[in-house]
Amino acid sequence: MNYFQKNKKNIIIGVIATLLIAALVALWLQKKVIHSADDIVGVVYPSSLSVGDTLLFEDKTQFAKTKRWNFGDGTTSDKSTGIHFYNKPGYYSVSLIIDNKYTKTFPVMVSPRYQKPKDSTKAVTTIEAPTQAMQNENVQFRAVSEASQFAWKFGETGNTDSKDKLAIYSYKKPGDYRVTLYTEESQEPIYHLIKILPAYNALQEDEIPVEDSYKKVDDDFKYHLQQIANGNSFNMHYNYLLRTYLCNNENTVVKVSDSKANNFYMYCAGLQFDKNVVIQSVKVNLDDKQNCVTKVDINQSK
């Protein structure tokens, strides 16, 4: 009996085992070495977006040596993860190419971005200005408007006084005036009513006893300081006193009772924030020419 006959059974078992091992090895190699597009681990989201929205992409393919993203709009990327933006609406096929062999595609729908229609109704032009001011005071008028052409008539001269969006005018005479504003946006003008109070200047009046003249200055000064203390228009009353009595000197000395001397601007600035102040009396001191107040003595309380 020869060798094969003696070991037939063992030989058959060995051949079968070898074939089985070879099959397992082939299966393992197919899993570890031989790949396909199904082995690509990539993601693109969202699949539906609008122009300008963010598209995120990410690849976690373990066996990849090289990778390239093709976004279908002429742009590519070699990054594993990142973001992309589409500038035009449409249907795009995003491709992930691994090792220049395996490709996986992701459909992406890009919609036009919704744009809220512009309101065809333009904002109505209005005038921003005080309703009361003093004679000879610089009054500010501002057009709240989208217009580009303006024509102001302040009611005193009868003429067009300004063509600027922000206009400043000083009334020469007291009275009630109707301000008129014309723009190219409307055939109808816009109106604003303003009352101009007389500017009293006792320093320039004649035929008044000196004592009465000083008292009128003191009383007028007291009145406007009290208006500031009451929270009324700071600029109107402050500028009136500054221009009428102080010869525009903001550093004029102000002495309040037994307190430390201060300048006029700092005193008035503090006065508008110091609540419930009552100005009891004011005494002004004039220069040698009796033209300008050089010092103001004030008694006040709360």
CATH number, position 272: 3.10.450
- Residue 130: φ, ψ to 5°: -70, 160
**25-56 b/e (C-beta count within 10 Å ≥ 16 → b):** eeeeeeeeeebeeeebebebeeeebeeeeebe
In a domain, 222, yes or no: yes
Q: β-strand 55-59 against 102-111: which pairing, if any?
A: unpaired
User: What is the pLDDT, as a whole number, of residue 74?
Assistant: 93
User: What is the pLDDT, as a whole number, of residue 205?
Assistant: 46
In a domain, 139, yes or no: yes
Element (H, E) at 278: strand 278-286
User: How many Cα atoms within 13 Å fall on the side-chain side of residue 30?
Assistant: 7
Hey, is 8 helix, strand or coil?
helix
In 41-137, the DSSP E strands lie at: 42-45, 48-50, 55-59, 67-70, 76-77, 81-84, 90-98, 102-111, 126-128, 132-134
**In this structure, are 145 and 170 located in the same domain?**
yes
Average pLDDT, the chain: 83
Taking the C-alpha atoms of 284, 287, 289 and 290 in order, what is their torsion angle to the nearest 10 degrees?
0
Report the percentage of the chain scoring pLDDT > 90.
Answer: 35
User: What is the pLDDT, as a whole number, of residue 191?
Assistant: 93
**In this structure, are 191 and 216 located in the same domain?**
no
Domain boundary among 151, 169, 197: 197
Give the tokens for residue 109.
């729908």
**In this structure, are 95 and 160 located in the same domain?**
no
In a domain, 95, yes or no: yes
Report the percentage of the chain scoring pLDDT > 70.
Answer: 83
Q: pLDDT-based confidence at 27, cuts 50/70/90? A: low
Number of structural domains (the chain) is: 3
Which residues are paired to 125 by β-bridges?
none
Name every residue whose Cβ is closer than 8 Å to that of residue 194 and which is 6 or more positions away in sequence. Answer: 129, 130, 131, 132, 133, 139, 176, 177, 179
Give the tokens for residue 157.
């001269």
In a domain, 65, yes or no: yes
pLDDT at 41 over 50: yes
Burial of 200 (0-12, 13-18, 19+ CB in 10 A): middle
**In this structure, are 146 and 226 located in the same domain?**
no
Looking at residue 233, what DSSP letter applies?
Answer: -
Contact between residue 180 and residue 152 where contact means Cβ atoms under 8 Å apart = yes
Q: pLDDT-based confidence at 202, cuts 50/70/90? A: very low
Domain boundary among 111, 136, 161: 111
- pTM higher than 0.75, yes or no? no
The residue segments making up the domain with residue 272 are 210-301
Which amino acid appears at position 151 of this protein?
A
pLDDT at 122 over 70: no
276 vs 263, more confident:
263
Helices (H), the chain: 3-6, 8-32, 210-229, 234-244, 264-271
Q: How far apart are CA 240 and CA 227, in angstroms?
A: 12
Q: pLDDT-based confidence at 123, cuts 50/70/90? A: confident
Q: What CATH number is given to the structural domain containing 153?
A: 2.60.40.10
